[in-house]
Structure 1
Amino acid sequence: MVRLRHIVGGLLLCLACTIAVSIFFAFSLLNPTQSCLFPSVTKGKIRYNSDWGSHQLALIVPFRDRFEELLVFAPYMQNFLNEQKIKHKIFIINQVDQHRFNRASLINVGHLQSREECDYLAMHDIDLLPLNPALNYSYPEGGPFHIASPDLHPRYHYRTFVGGILLLTREDFELVNGLSNKYWGWGLEDDELYARMKKAKLNISRPKDINTGQKNTFKHIHDTKKRKRDTARLYNQREATRWRDHQTGLNTVQYRVVSKHKLMIDEASMTVINVELICNYTVTPWCDHKSVKSSKHRR
């Protein structure tokens, strides 16, 4: 009688476990937020679902000496893009030579290093974080899409401004031959890119129906006191960079990849590419400061 009681108790326990497991799986199937809306992350790798589409974004970040900003930027952007179901890879193009910072050349390098994996790119400043979830990072089928519109950017408001955050397809970026490599130091490379895109008759579009403005669409985290911009104009730099550059671009950028590393910040995975840019002193003697030998020229 005691043995029978044990057998019955065991059967009831098994039955209860079976019912509990069945309810769990049924609930999982009925609750799509557990399995469909967000990617699963395993050791930094995201497994995307089919509803994320076929395109993959290269988030290209020109970089030097801004690690504390990277600590904020990478996790924030990964979460922002995941919410939009944007398949993406983050590429930090770190300039490790002793020349002045060259944002345009680093973006050219980033495209060359990422184009086998990604079919469109975002030229993205590390100090500009999108706050409004309506800012769309999806594939720009209609031509270049300038997310950091002059109507929305916290600092730059002129009509031809295309800096900050700009999306282009791989084909459009190669059509305009990337960016000019002549812009060592801060500024003007985006204005020259605007001229390239207009010459190629590309339609530049910007966000519409955004319910935020210049004060609350983006967070600008650049500390001008801590990082003064390198605005020096040396030799004939001012005159030589005033006009459209027909000589340099994606097909002439000279560089050496020193090393590549996978880096994780929280759950954000990225590829850090350490790059030495090569200066043609005959074309751009202003790539170095005359009196500064340090590698800490900061943008």
Structure 2
Amino acid sequence: MKTKSFMNSSDSHHLAVIVPFRKAFDELQAFLPHMDKYLRNKNIDHTIYIINQADNLRFNRASLINAAWHEIRKEGKADYLVMHDVDLLPLNKDLPYGYPRKDDVVVHVASPQYHPRYHYKKFIGGILLMKLKTYELVDGMSNRFWGWGQEDDELFVRLREKNIQILRPNNLTTTDQNTFLHLHDKIKRPRDGLKIGEQKIETRRRDRITGLHDVSYEVEERRILNIDKAQATVINVKLHCDIKGTPWCMIPTKGPSKGKAPRA
């Protein structure tokens, strides 16, 4: 089924581009002007939000996206969102970034068929687009994923339980080699794949407790960032950790820990 049949013209809609962020300044220098130009060329009204994690906890992509949703809803400007990795730049002009017609549909723009690295069928990471109300319908994402990976796999289960259809682009003229530009430098910026204590076991379960409704954070600062005439709203966020529920939100300074070391 063609993705475009589920998309509307974005003339009367506003897209919030949510970029979970921490210290990836080199990638941001390339991402912001590229993304702004790309969406303008598609005539998509948009605001780019850099959601910067400004605390000393381990990176939590899902909680940052949950926090961004609340801040964007307060503004009342955007009616749909795309969660977007800062190191993944769209190159094909036919990738779908328009407004979805239905509440029970999400669009996985970074389809495993075209993603330069991840090709498994349940992969919905990288770039995922939906209405704000659809994100609320599944209670957003779990807040239990500190460190790198798996939060999007848990979101996949939430979408499936609500019978929300995941659409992907097809019949593009490009391949997994030239649909996107992947900027991640695994040596300069290794992923935090450390699994501490019971983290590996606990984060393999469907989280039925945390989500959009209980994400805990405070906004430290909001400011406007300009790079090469492209503009973004930067929101510096301090996340709060439930130490009892997720003791793995901090890397221990002493003693052994179970699991894997940080990886790319």
TM-score (norm 2): 0.90
Alpha-carbon contact 1:64-1:298 (below 8 Å) kept: no
- Say whether 1:112 aligns with 2:74: no
Matched, 1:233 2:191: no
Retained in 1: the 8 A contact 2:10–2:98? Answer: no
Deviation at 1:193, TM superposition (A): 0.3
Q: For 1:54-69, what aligned pairs fall within 5 Å after superposition? A: 54-69=12-27
What is the alpha-carbon distance in structure 2 between the residues aligned to residue 84 and residue 269 of structure 1?
17
Structure 2 distance, partners of 1:165, 1:187, is 14
Name the structure 1 match of 2:98.
138
Secondary structure of the 2:166 match is coil
Residue by residue, what CA displacement relative to the aligned partner does 1:117-144 show, whole Å, maximum 9, x if unpaired? 2100000000000110010200122410
What are the residue-to-residue correspondences of 1:228-267 with 2, within 5 Å? 228-267=190-229
Q: Which runs of 4+ in 1 moved over 6 A?
A: none
Aligned partner of 1:72 among 30, 44, 49 = 30
- Partner of 1:188 in structure 2? 150
Query: Which runs of 5 or more residues in structure 1 are unaligned?
Result: 1-50
Query: How far apart, CA to CA, are the structure 1 residues paired with 2:263 and 2:88?
Result: 17
Residue 233 of structure 2 corresponds to 271
Amino acid at match of 1:258: E
Query: Which residue identity lines up with residue 96 of structure 2 in the other structure?
Result: N
Which residue is 1:98 aligned to?
56
1:132 maps to a residue whose letter is: N
Counterpart-to-counterpart distance in 2, 1:111 and 1:144: 16
Pairwise CA RMSD of aligned residues? 1.5
State the distance in 2 between where 1:69 and 1:196 align.
Answer: 30
Q: Deviations along 1:170-210, whole A, 9 cap, x unmatched?
A: 11000000000000000000000000000010011000221
Does residue 129 of structure 1 match 2:100? no
Structure 1 counterpart SS, 2:28: helix
Q: Residue 84 in 1 paired to residue 46 in 2?
A: no
Structure 2 counterpart of 1:159: 121
User: TM-score, normalising length from structure 1?
Assistant: 0.80
What is residue 130 of structure 2 aligned with on the other side?
168
Hey, what's the Cα distance between the residues in 2 that align with 1:207 and 1:140? 13
More helix by share: 1
**Greater CA radius of gyration, 1 or 2?**
1
CA distance in 2, matches of 1:102, 1:91: 16
- TM-aligned CA deviation for residue 291 of structure 1: 1.4
1:266 to partner: Cα distance: 1.2
1:298 Cα shift?
11
| Structure 1 residues 215-260: Cα deviation after superposition (integer angstroms, max 9, x where no partner) | 1110000000001110000010011100111000000100010010
Q: In structure 2, list runs of 5 or more residues that go unmatched.
A: 1-8, 255-261
